[in-house]
């Protein structure tokens, strides 16, 4: 069994290590944060024995300063028999200071000032920086740019963007996980048509009634154009999923038909599209 690929994320506090570790998770890495170096060998040994673990991400930082003394020897030892990449993140001091002030989080070293704490941390991590395979200055990077850089280093394609289209009834509440909500209650309601009330949007008669209306056709066309425009921009910003909710009064007739029509209209975007009828 081939040994797993291990990526160690380390660097200065406030430089984006948590974001980098999440990028690894998005690329199917099994990740653990704030792992004391003395436990890394045992952790790697156990993880390497698991057949379903092929990529491991480890976060190491100054929070474990009492254990950092042996980190250089540990990484050197791991390199002898494992595939390992060390990524060190840093940023200019004024940017780190601004990030701490914006989040109102104390620096882990809690020195006389943030400036002194950053200086002490830079000194403490100097040898670890020298061991790094990649050094990333995040001063001018957006979160999305950092994710893209991490993904390029580890050779992953990132998570597959997922589109979920959900029909629902407003009388049962708007889905809490909705990214976008569209109201179909302005369309003619099969509930008031003889022979259709007891049916649902899965039945051909209801589908024909709803989808054959010119107003429905225009509505779906406009939604399709909007979504084809929006989805690439959501992906570019690092979003990994999009939940589009279509609602009608009870969620039984109009919204299920519209949801299915939109899913069919998005077939050309070459992305996984999942349809859920919450209230059927």
pLDDT in tens, 114-173: 888 888 888 888 888 888 888 898 888 888 888 888 888 887 655 567 788 999 999 999
pLDDT at 156: 63
Q: What is the C-alpha separation between 17 and 24, in angstroms, rounded?
A: 11
State which of 67-76, 233-242, 271-280 shows the largest mean pLDDT. 271-280
* Domain 5-154 of CATH type 3.40.50.300: yes
Q: Residue ranges of the domains in the chain?
A: 5-154, 162-277
Of the candidates 262, 119, 193, 265, the residue with the CA atom closest to the CA atom of residue 277: 262
Q: Angle between the 143-154 and 17-26 helix axes, to the nearest 10 degrees?
A: 50
Q: Write down the residue that tokens 């790094």 correspond to.
A: 132
- Return the C-alpha torsion angle 100, 102, 103, 104, nearest 10: 70
How far are the Cα atoms of 17, 35, 108 from residue 44, in angstroms, in the given order?
A: 20, 11, 26
Whether pLDDT at 61 is above 90: no
């Amino acid at each position: 069994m081939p040994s797993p690929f291990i990526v160690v994320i380390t660097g200065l506090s406030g430089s984006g290590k948590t974001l980098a570790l999440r990028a690894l998770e998005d690329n199917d890495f099994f990740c653990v944060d704030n792992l004391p170096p003395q436990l890394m060998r045992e952790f790697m040994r156990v993880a390497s024995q698991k057949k379903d673990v092929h990529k491991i991400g480890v976060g190491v930082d100054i929070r474990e300063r009492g254990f950092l003394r042996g980190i250089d020897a540990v990484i050197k030892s791991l390199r002898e028999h494992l595939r390992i990449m060390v990524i060190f993140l840093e940023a200019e001091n004024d940017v780190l200071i601004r990030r701490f002030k914006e989040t109102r989080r104390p620096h882990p070293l809690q020195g006389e000032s943030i400036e002194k704490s950053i200086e002490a941390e830079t000194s403490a991590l100097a040898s670890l920086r020298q061991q790094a395979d990649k050094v990333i200055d995040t001063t001018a990077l957006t979160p999305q740019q950092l994710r893209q850089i991490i993904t390029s280093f580890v050779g992953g394609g990132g998570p597959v963007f997922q589109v979920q289209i959900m029909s629902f009834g407003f009388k049962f509440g708007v889905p809490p996980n909705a990214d976008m909500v569209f109201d179909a209650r302005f369309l003619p309601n099969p509930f008031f048509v003889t022979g259709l009330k007891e049916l649902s949007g899965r039945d051909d008669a209801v589908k024909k009634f709803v989808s054959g209306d010119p107003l429905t056709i225009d509505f779906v066309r406009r939604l399709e154009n909007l979504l084809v425009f929006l989805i690439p921009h959501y992906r570019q910003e690092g979003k990994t999923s999009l939940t589009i909710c279509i609602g009608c009064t009870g969620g039984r007739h109009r919204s299920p038909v519209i949801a299915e029509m939109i899913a069919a209209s998005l077939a050309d975007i070459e992305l996984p599209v999942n349809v859920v009828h919450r209230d059927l």
